[in-house]
Amino acid sequence: MELITAGADPDEMPFTPAIVTRGGTHVWLSGATAYPLVHKHPHDPEELAVPEGIAEQTRACLENLRVALDAAGGAVEDIVEVTIYNTDLDAQDEVNEVYTEFFGGHRPCRTHIGVDRLVGPGLKIEMSAHAVLG
């Protein structure tokens, strides 16, 4: 198993952005929010400012997943499953628009779950994913 830190100091992060399993084919991507993928711990509130709109937060989540996947040697087309945690299911159309733009013709399996809140104030969406390389 290989831990992919995407540039973070592993001793400063309480989680790993991605893990590649033995054999190098499966990549597990930690939940990403609109927060910078690699950020200080304990948290610095100025570093964790997020856009208000769910479309912009969705775009940031997906880009953070891409950063971790790139560091693991994968590509967006390698993603086979996405789980979305959303505090505003009424905004599902906005999420889908950004999601479709990001993935293009690629359509991974997906679960979209409504939740009451996420890890920080102002966060509306979080996504985790699983990719298969090669």
pLDDT in tens, 40-91: 667 677 777 888 999 999 999 999 999 999 989 999 999 999 999 999 999 9
Least confident of 12-16, 24-28, 55-59: 12-16
d(CA 69, CA 53): 25
- 76: domain CATH number is 3.30.1330.40
CA distances in angstroms from 56 to 45, 73, 131, listed in the order given: 19, 26, 23
Answering whether pTM is above 0.75, one says yes
Total domains, the chain = 1
pLDDT of residue 14: 66
Chain mean pLDDT for the chain: 88
Question: Buried b / exposed e across 35-49, counting CB within 10 Å, b at 16+?
Answer: bebbeeeeeeeeebe
> Which two three-digit tokens encode residue 16?
């790993």
d(CA 10, CA 49): 23
Full residue range of the structural domain in which residue 48 is found? 2-132
